[in-house]
Amino acid sequence: MANRIHPSILNANLAALDSEIARIPSADAIHLDVMDGHFVPNLTLGLPVIECLRKNNAGRFLDIHLMIENADVWAPQYAELGCESVTFHLEASQAPIRTARQLRSLGSRAAVGLRPQTPIEPLADIITEFDMILIMTVDPGFGGQRFLDGMLGKIARTRQLVKASGTDIWIQVDGGVSEETIDRCVDAGADVFVAGSAVFRSDDPDAVVRALKGQADL
């Protein structure tokens, strides 16, 4: 299993992203939350900013989390920038298989995200179209929310589906992940962990990343 920590910059200083990213050298990827004010009631950054981050951070794995409508139109454009992984939400896609295939053909990993109230079962027969499944463990839109324990069953069912598929699809959890909650996610079967406020509200973000990595050591 992957055992990866992908810190989210949502609670970092968004006006100084390059230096914030430089503070977490131990991170396995940088999780970038793109919000459009429609799919979620918050607005962050988009293609022009990601394009600059890509240029300034060659060598870093960019994990794009799109919380935007019209995902089928926008997601491939992030892959075209050279981002290593692009996650779009199932709820915002009319053609998830086609979009996933397009992402892969553009050289990106294809990932799909689920809001807390969206079940995993609709993905059961098409799971191998994706390289990662993102299980949201808060309502998407804001950092600093409390982890939803009710999602642990969904993580476990996703792990069963991945096991049955005989592939190594990553299972990512995002929302309220911290040194206090990560063990539950590991036990349930997640292997890629997004942590925002837990990392960037610390005086030593990289120490938190290393601590989380130790806890996630599967």
The H-assigned helical ranges of 16-151 are 17-22, 47-56, 71-80, 96-105
CB 83 within 8 A of CB 54: yes
Q: Does 31 bind ligand DX5 (CB under 6 A)?
A: yes
Residue 131 annotated to the active site: no
Closest CA to 173 of 209, 213, 142, 132: 132
Taking residue 54's Cβ as centre, other Cβ atoms within 10 Å add up to 18
Nearer to ligand DX5, 117 or 166 (CB): 117
- Does 33 show up as a binding residue in the annotation? yes
85 near ligand DX5, judged by CB under 6 A: no
Interface with Zn ion includes 33 (CB under 5 A)?
yes
The one-letter amino acid code at 121 reads E
Enumerate residues 177-206 that contact Zn ion by CB under 5 A.
none
Give the span between the Cα atoms of 106 and 38, in whole angstroms: 26
Q: Is 63 in the site for Zn ion (CB under 5 A)?
A: no
CB 155 within 8 A of CB 188: yes
Residue 33 bears catalytic tag: yes
The helix (H) or strand (E) run that includes residue 113 is strand 109-114
- The yes or no reply on residue 174 touching Zn ion (CB under 5 A) is yes
Please give the residues from 44 up to 73 whose contact with ligand DX5 meets the rule CB under 6 A.
65
Q: Given the complex with Zn ion, which of 140 and 189 has the nearer CB atom? A: 140
Residue nearest to ligand DX5 (CB): 196
What span, in angstroms and rounded, lies between the C-alpha atoms of 214 and 196? 17
Binding flag, residue 28, ligand DX5 (CB under 6 A)? no
The DSSP bridge partners found for residue 5 are 193
Q: Is residue 89 close enough to count as binding ligand DX5 by CB under 6 A?
A: no
- 65 in a labelled binding site: yes
The structure tokens listed for 99 are 């979009």
Q: Name which of Zn ion, ligand DX5, none residue 64 binds, using a CB cut-off of 5 to 8 Å depending on partner kind.
A: none
Catalytic residue of the set 33, 63, 131, 191: 33
Alpha carbon distance 26, 37 (integer Å): 31
List residues bridging with 106 in a β-sheet.
Answer: none
Which residue lies nearer to ligand DX5 by CB, 87 or 102?
87
Minimum CB separation of residue 84 from Zn ion in Å reads 15
Footprint of ligand DX5 (CB under 6 A): 8, 10-11, 31, 33, 65, 138, 140-141, 143-145, 174-177, 194-198
Footprint of Zn ion (CB under 5 A): 33, 65, 174
- The catalytic residues are 33, 174
